[in-house]
Amino acid sequence: MDHGQSERRTIPEGATGESTRAERPAAPSKILAYRMGFAVAAAAMAERIGLVAYLNTHLDWDARQCKVSPGTRLLALIIAIMVDPRALYRLEEFYHDQDCAVLFGAERHAADFNDDAIGRALLKLFESQCGQIYSGICRQAVDRRALPATTSAHVDTTSVTFQGAYAHPDAGARPLRGYNKDGHPESVQLVTGLVTRDDGVPWSVDVMDGNTSDATWTAMVFQQMGLTLPDVLRAQVLFVADSKMVSEATVEDCCAANIAFVSRLPNTFGLERQTKETVRTAGQWDADRPVSGDRRTRYRVCEIPGVIGQAAVRFVVVHSSALAAKAQHWEETQTVREAQALDQQIAHWGLQRFACADDAQHAWQTWQATKAVAQGLWAIEGTILEEDTPEGPQWRVQATRAETPRADRIAAERFRRSTFILVSNDPRRSARDLLTAYKRQYVNEQDHAMVKGPLQVVPLYLKDTKKITAYVYCVYLALLLWRSMQAVMRQNQARLGFTLPYPNGALQPAPTTKRLKEILHPIQVIQWHESTGEIHRYRSDLSLVQRQALVLLGMNSDRFTQIPSG
């Protein structure tokens, strides 16, 4: 059986749940057991953030013509993505091994979630402004779970790879070839742009054509934030983005809209080399120490004012011990590599002859102007010599390489490779606070990894780009539930003082939804069918670790046998 898939079996010993064996009917006609602990936990979290109600309120549908609401159908897809991602045509098969009434309410059955029903729900989601609905659900989730206010928002993109050929209608994101971050340039893709809170809970997501560039989307995001971001958040939230964000237009727009940001100055900017050289010769550095969350690397920072376009910004030059170690290795290998290459070229010069001194001088000056020599680590000297030959006088270049490399260039290059530059317009945070916020960019990268791992986009067998677009939004709704469960557990961990154990018994520094899934998966919901047609439900006994997991999640164990309303 696949990991995460439920199963039906004879009732196990000790499966008393909240009832005793004496309370059970004496003569069942059928007993079924469903392994669905994590599915129930996901459904419970969806109830607490009001996912189905929000969808049903904002989607265009007629309750008189729908047996099952589109919100419930989309929740069924989201839970399946979280428990056991599979193609849409196999979704009904998945719910044959679940107690659908416990997950979605009375009178719900696996047949309600066939691929046609899910496909129609996806179309309704697409037709109702997917991006706005997603952002609204994210805000509601944060409010209902009383998550702490975020101090930073992290902006990044990734690619979702597809196989096959797709039509290109006007509606929906188009699978196209573009820069593929999965290493599959031969495949078509969609590009997703994600904004997350500092705890990894999503803020918003955009699903776009496969050839959308990072710079284009990032500029669009900051432009939208300038129009819609409330003043209270402008004063509170620092937006963190990678170097694709840095352009004159985007920086000027952020400054004009009072949106605080921090990003990395691209190495391709001439301003980058100039700023580093200024700091190397006259910079005032703070103490060398690690930042929160990265104890292995030590950093020191130096700040100077700067200008990008017409906007005044802060440049924070960061020296990293990890980059310094790489720079030292580069120095040891590059000096030898350049010396060997120069020696070969010098030997070639010794064999080359010219008809006149001017030709020899011109060739020598041309070679000296090449990047390898003019910006190299070794100094080269040359002399034009005249030689008498049977054919008449000829000239050659006698070149020599210095015995030691240029110390000034090595020092400058070592410093350049040991540092990076952050650019920000935030007047409130210190330079080290900006560095700490930037180093938390991994929370966005972890969310992208989650979408490509446990919540992976499985083979869809869909051709309609509208359904494909809506499906990818559902994957990110699954990410919202996944991250919300983790944020709630960590919030309760800080309050209660305990966490979840690894399988080997060691304690997790912070509880994760991945481990929660492993712990709750074995919990069984047992149906006791009477001959009269009445059904009683029980759950299997809970271990101590399972009870601890439910406490961290803030979930009552009675939920495993309750039938939700609606």
* Per-residue pLDDT tens over the stretch 86-122: 777 788 999 999 999 999 998 899 999 998 999 999 9
The answer to whether domain 131-317+420-452 has CATH 3.40.50.1820 is no
How do the domains of the chain map onto residue ranges?
Answer: 21-129+459-561, 131-317+420-452, 325-410
Q: Name the nearest CA neighbour of 37 among 86, 87, 98.
A: 98
The confidence score (pLDDT) of residue 458 equals 66
Q: Name the nearest CA neighbour of 257 among 234, 286, 281, 240.
A: 234
Q: Please state whether 461 falls in left (phi above 0), alpha (psi between -120 and 50) or beta.
A: left
What is the rounded CA–CA span in Å between residue 410 and residue 333? 12
The confidence score (pLDDT) of residue 282 equals 83
The confidence score (pLDDT) of residue 68 equals 93
- The length of the chain is 566
Model-level pTM?
Answer: 0.86
3-state secondary structure of 204: strand
* Per-residue pLDDT tens over the stretch 40-84: 999 999 999 999 999 999 999 888 888 899 999 999 999 999 998
Instruction: Identify the bridge partners of residue 311 per DSSP, sorted by sequence position.
Output: 308
Query: Using alpha carbons only, what angle is made at residue 247 by residues 242 and 248, rounded to the nearest 5 degrees?
Result: 145
The confidence score (pLDDT) of residue 432 equals 93
What is the rounded CA–CA span in Å between residue 481 and residue 484? 5
Token digits for 187?
């495949």
| Strands 152-162 and 535-539, sheet pairing | unpaired
What is the rounded CA–CA span in Å between residue 519 and residue 502? 10
Spatial neighbors of 429 by CB under 8 A, at least 6 apart, are 238, 260, 437
- Residues 258, 234 contacting (CB under 8 angstroms): yes
- What is the dihedral angle through the alpha carbons of 372, 375, 380, 386, rounded to the nearest 10 degrees? 60
* 5 phi and psi angles, rounded to 5 deg: -85, 140
Token digits for 407?
């110390």
What is the rounded CA–CA span in Å between residue 84 and residue 191? 24
- Residues 143, 136 contacting (CB under 8 angstroms): no
264-281 in b/e burial notation, b at 16+ Cβ within 10 A?
bbbeeeebbeebbeebbe
What is the rounded CA–CA span in Å between residue 408 and residue 377? 9
| Sign of the CA dihedral with 54 first, then 58, 63, and 65 last | negative
- Residues 94, 5 contacting (CB under 8 angstroms): yes
Question: What does each of the 566 residues of the chain score in pLDDT, given as a tens digit?
Answer: 343 344 444 444 445 444 434 455 556 678 889 999 999 999 999 999 999 999 999 999 888 888 899 999 999 999 999 998 877 778 899 999 999 999 999 889 999 999 899 999 999 999 998 999 999 999 999 999 888 889 999 999 999 888 877 776 667 888 888 888 888 888 888 999 999 999 999 999 999 998 999 889 998 998 888 778 888 788 789 999 999 899 999 999 999 989 999 999 998 888 999 999 999 988 789 887 887 666 789 999 999 999 999 999 999 999 999 999 999 999 999 999 999 999 999 998 888 899 999 999 999 999 999 988 888 999 999 899 998 888 888 999 999 999 999 999 999 999 999 999 999 999 999 999 999 999 999 999 999 999 988 887 766 677 888 999 999 999 999 999 999 999 999 999 999 999 999 999 999 999 999 999 999 999 999 988 888 888 899 999 999 999 999 999 999 999 999 998 86
The confidence score (pLDDT) of residue 45 equals 96
Token digits for 115?
């691929």
The confidence score (pLDDT) of residue 27 equals 63
Spatial neighbors of 254 by CB under 8 A, at least 6 apart, are 222, 226, 239, 260, 261, 311, 425
Hunting for tokens 């010069």 — which residue is that? 349
Query: Using alpha carbons only, what angle is made at residue 165 by residues 73 and 123, rounded to the nearest 5 degrees?
Result: 25
Spatial neighbors of 285 by CB under 8 A, at least 6 apart, are 300, 301, 302, 319
